[in-house]
Amino acid sequence: MPVPDTEAVNPRRLIRDEVFLRLLDAIVDGDLLPGEQLFDAEIEKWVGVSRTPVREALNQLAAMGLVEILPQKRTRVTPIDTNRLRGLIETLRTLFRSVVRDATPLLTDGDKAELASFAEQISSGEGLADLGRSRLVSENFLNIYVRRLDNKTIARLLSRHMPEIRRAINIAPSTAPFETGLPILQATVDASIAGDADTAAAGVDDFWLHTVGALVDSLETEEK
């Protein structure tokens, strides 16, 4: 396994949390590729910790579907399963449609300013280069609605499942579907700022159906 080049453990975090976050970022960003074997000793050396927090982190990632642990055999980054991804996208698509519809009437002036800034970035062409494909969709856009709705159950579900979607977006061979979908995000932002909840919800639904779904299509094509 190629060990990513990162800084030492942050002493203000719990060690197991630090190991988990390091591995999570490496998997989602594509530094650790699907199917790649993970060795405890190399992770211990990389992060500078003992075996116990490494195992705890790997078990946590396994529960999220990002790591596959075969006892007495191997531990590896879970290979991409496009059928699983399609089911997960459909589930999250339904969830986000509801979140955007319910959160739009609650958006504050500050939220709308964040959305306007986001729209300005994508319209200027900075979206993909500066924000990154997966973070553009999640942290820089959808989290505005999730935060405003303030539903802890939804937040937990997303923290568990969004990394798998973000990983797929990051390793997709082409950005073309994502670039095509940026005008849909623009229209969704405009509707949200105007307080049109139904149009905003339809926009985010359209984006997940045609853009994120198309990225999975490109992964499936690459496998053949």
Give 88-113 pLDDT, tens digit per residue. Answer: 999 999 999 999 999 999 999 999 99
What is the Cα gyration radius of the chain?
Answer: 18
Terminal-to-terminal C-alpha distance of the chain = 25
What global pTM score does this model have? 0.82
Q: Is residue 8 part of a domain?
A: no
Q: Which residues are paired to 76 by β-bridges?
A: 37, 68
Q: Are residues 132 and 145 in the same domain?
A: yes
Structural domain containing residue 33: 15-77
- Rounded to an integer, the average pLDDT of 114-135 is 69
Q: Are residues 112 and 134 in the same domain?
A: yes
Query: Is the pLDDT reported for residue 8 higher than 80?
Result: no
Q: How far is CA 53 from the centre of its chain?
A: 24
Say if residues 169 and 133 touch (Cβ distance below 8 Å): yes
The residue to which tokens 């993970």 are assigned: 38
Burial track 164-182 (b if 16+ CB lie within 10 A, e otherwise): bbbbbbbbbeeeebbeebb
How far apart CA 163 and CA 137 sit, in angstroms, is 11
Q: Is residue 4 part of a domain?
A: no
Tell me, what's the pLDDT at 12? 46
Point out the least confidently predicted range of 54-68, 73-87, 131-145, 172-186: 131-145
Q: Are residues 57 and 125 in the same domain?
A: no
Q: Is residue 2 part of a domain?
A: no
| Per-residue CA distances from 46 to 40, 53, 62, 66, 156 (Å) | 10, 13, 20, 19, 29
Q: Which of 77, 93, 113 is the last residue of a domain?
A: 77
Tell me, what's the pLDDT at 125? 61
Q: Which of 54, 77, 100 is the last residue of a domain?
A: 77
Q: Are residues 90 and 145 in the same domain?
A: yes
Give me the percent of the chain exceeding a pLDDT of 90: 51
Q: Are residues 146 and 73 in the same domain?
A: no
* Helix axis angle, 213-223 to 82-103, nearest 10°: 170
Residue 99: how many CB atoms within 10 A of its CB? 21
Say if residues 17 and 152 touch (Cβ distance below 8 Å): no
Point out the least confidently predicted range of 4-8, 34-38, 121-125, 176-180: 4-8
pLDDT tier for residue 4 given thresholds of 50, 70 and 90: low
Q: Is residue 7 part of a domain?
A: no
Contacts of 123 (CB under 8 A, 6+ apart): 182, 186
Number of independent structural domains in the chain = 2
Structure tokens at 58: 């790997």
The residue to which tokens 């306007």 are assigned: 116
